[in-house]
Structure 1
Amino acid sequence: MVDTSNAPATRETPWPVAVMSEKIAAWIERLGMVWIEGEVTQWQLRGGHVYGKLKDLTQDATVSFTVWRSVTQKLTSEFAQGDRVIALVKPNFWVKGGSLTVQVFELSHVGLGELLERLERLRRQLQQEGLFDASRKKPLPFLPGRIGLVTGRDSDAEKDVIRNATLRWPGVQFKVHYSAVQGDRAAAEVAAGIEALDQDPSIDVIIVARGGGDFQNLLPFSDERVVRAASAATTPLVSAIGHEADRPLLDEVADLRASTPTDAAKRVVPDVGEELAGLDQARARMSSRLGQYLQHETDRLSQLRGRPVLANPNRLIDERAEDLVRWIARGTELADRSVEDRAVSLAETRARLNALSPRATLERGYAIAQLADGEVLRDPEQAAAGSEIKLSLAGGKLAARAE
C-alpha cells in the first residue's frame, strides 16, 4: 500500500478516512487548552464522572464534554441543565468514532448563573443573621396618616399606589422619594430613599414599588445595601416589586410583601366604604343591644312596682314604726331599771365604806397619835419625854407634848 498521509488528497489519490481523522486529531491536539462559554443542555453523573453537552449561547452549535471525577471533586458549586458556564477545556477528536469531545479541567458559572450563585450566597448569609425571621416583622398601622413611597419618577407603580390608596381612603397623604429602579444607580438611590423616609417622623409606613420586570432589572432590589437599609428601618416597610417568579431579597426582609403596587395600596390603606359599613353594622348592633337592655330593665321595674311593698310603701314604714316604738319603750324600761339597780348598789357600797373608814372610828371619840416624823404611836415608850406629838381627831388635828 502506498503511503498517502503526506501527499495531498486528490481525486486520483484520496486520503483514507483514518488518515483524515488522524490529521484532524493531530490538528486539534495542537490547539491545546481553551476557554469556552455556553449553556449546559445535558448533565449526567455516572460513577463520579460527568457527561454532558454544552450549547452555544447564540448559534446552533453543541459540543459534548466530559468532567472526570478528579475535577468534579474540586468543583465548589453545583451545576445543572440550563446553567450558563465558562470552562477550561482540551478538545479531543475520537478517531474511531469520528466525534469531537472536550475534556473539562475547570468549570464555573457565568452571567446569570454567576449572579444567581452570588445572590444565593447573600441569601444564606442574611438568613443566618436572622434578617428574614418572622419575629422581626413589624405590624402595619391600621390607618397611616402619611405614606412614604420609593419608586421611579412618573412610573406606573407610583400611579397605581397613589390612585388605589386615594380611592380607598381619600384623606391619605404621600411623600414620594423618586429613585432609579433599574441600572447601576438604582440600589444606592433606593437605599437612600428608604433611609430618608425612615428618618421622617411623619411617615407611618414605607412602600418600595416597581411594576415588575425581568430578573436582571430586579437585581437592585436584591442588593445588600437595599436589603440592609430595609432591615435597619424602624418604620414598617412594604415591598411591592410585582414579580412572582423571581422574588428579590427585599421581599424576604420587608415587613410585608405585596404581589403588585396595587396590592400594596389595598393592604396598607383600609377601604373607607368597608369601614363605614362596619361602623353602621356596629352601630346597629349597639342600638339593638341597648334597646333590648332598656326593655328588660323596664319590664323588671314594672314587676318591682307590682309588688305589695311598693304598691303601698307606707305599710312597710308603719310596721317598722310599731316595732321601733316597742323597742324604744323596752329600752327605756331596761335603762331605768339598770340605773335604779346601780343606785342601790352604790348606796350599799358607800355604807360599807363608811363603816370601815378610820374617820368613822375618830367620830366615835378616838384619836390617832403620831410622832413628828409621822410614825403612828402604838406604845407610850415610843415617845420620849418632851417630844412633840400630833393628834388626829374627827374635827381636825392638835399638837401635844409627851410628859
Structure 2
Amino acid sequence: FTTGENHSEFGLAQADDTQCKSCHGSGSLTPEAVHSVGKRAEYASLFKVDFTSAAVVTSAIPGMKTLTLKANVTMNGAAIPNGTDLKVYNATTNPTGMFVANGLLLGNVTTDGTVYAWRDVKPTAIALTLKDGTLSNGELTFVKDIPDAQAVGTIYVSSEANVCIKAGKVSSCNATGLEFGPTNPIGNTAPVKFYSLDTTAVVKARMTDPARITVEEAKCNDCHGTLDYIKGTRHGTYTFDQCMHCHNDTTGASGHPTVVYKGTDGSKVINPNVTFKNKDLFTVAHRFHSGNFDVIAGIFRDANGELVGYPSPETACSACHKDDAKLFATDGGLASEKRSIKVGSNYISPVAESCRSCHAHSDAAAVAHFRSNGAVVEADAMTDPNLPVESCATCHAEGKTYGVDKVHAEVAH
C-alpha cells in the first residue's frame, strides 16, 4: 500500500483499502473475473466422465487379471461422436510428470476406508488415460491387465481430465482465441465411483463419509469458488474424494518438504527444524493456510512469524471445519478414524502431525511433548501402520481444559 510496488505498471500507492473497489468492484478486474473462479464452476459440466461399471476376469498373463471399465462421456451436453480423437482435448501443465494428461484416478479401498492409489503401485504404476478408452456411441471402454493384488475388493475410479474452452464450449487445445487454454484448463465433472471386483461388499473411502469428514467443501468454495481453482492447471479435480488420490495417508511422500518464511530482506528463509514427508490432505491444507509451506506466495509467514495473506483469524477453525465439528473420536483418535500416516516406508501418528502442520513447531520440547503423550514421530521409525492412539484428547478434545474449541476460539492472536 505505501509504495504501490507490484501494483500494476503504475505503482499505485494507496493509503488503505477503501479505494480497491474503484477498479476491482466491477468489470474485468473483479477478483472472480481475474481469477476466472466463477467460470470454472460454470464450465465444470461441459466435459463429463460418468463411470458405470468395473469388472475383472482371468488374464492370459500369469498373476494378472483383465480389468474392464466403462464410462459415459459427454462434451458440451452431448454424447461424443464415434471417431473423436480425445488427444485433441488433452490439457495439462503438470510439470512433475506424476500424472499423464487426462489420467484416470484409480486405486483400492480397504475395509476401513483407507485408499491405496494405483499410481503408487511398485515396481510399475497402473495408469490409464481417456485416450486409452475405446469410444462407441458416447461410451468409453477401458481394458487393462492389472496385478492380482489390485484385482480384489473395492476400487475407486474417477478422472482428472482437463479440457480447453472457447466461447463457452469445449474446444481443441490447438484452437486460437481460447478462453481457457493449455496453461489454465478446466476440469471435468467425474463423480468418484466405487466397485467391488470380487464377491465382497463395496466399501467407500473415508473421504466420502460425511460422519468422518470434519471439513466442508462448501466452505472451501466460499473462498475459492471451486476447488478446481486450486489444482486446475494440473489436475481437473473438484471434490475431496478426487483429491484423495494423491493427498492420502498411504502415499508416504511430500512434494513440499520444507517450511519457509519471508526474511526482512524479502528472501525465502528455510526453517531448518521443520520438515514434512507426507501430503495427506489435512497436512497440506493446514500447512498452506497457516503459512507453513515452502513458497512465499499467497499465504506465508513474515520474519516476525506473523501470518500474511490469510483472510480469517488463524485460530478460526470453523472457517474450514464444520460448525461445531467434533475433531476427536470417543477413543481419543481423530474423528475420521485415521490412525496413522505413512512417511517414506514408516508410519507416524496423525494427531501430533495435524497439530504441528498448522503450528509448525517441531523443536525438541514440542517433539518431547508429542512423544510423552503417545505419539509416534518420524524418529521412531514404526513400520506397522496399526499405531496406538495418542492421548492428546485427554487435554485437547472439545470441552477439555485446553480443548481446541477453547484455545482456537475465533479471535485473532
Compute the TM-score of the two structures, normalised by the length of structure 2: 0.21
Compute the TM-score of the two structures, normalised by the length of structure 1: 0.21
Larger radius of gyration: 1
Between 1 and 2, higher relative CO (CA 8 Å, sep ≥ 6) is seen in 2
- In proportion to residue count, which structure has more helix? 1
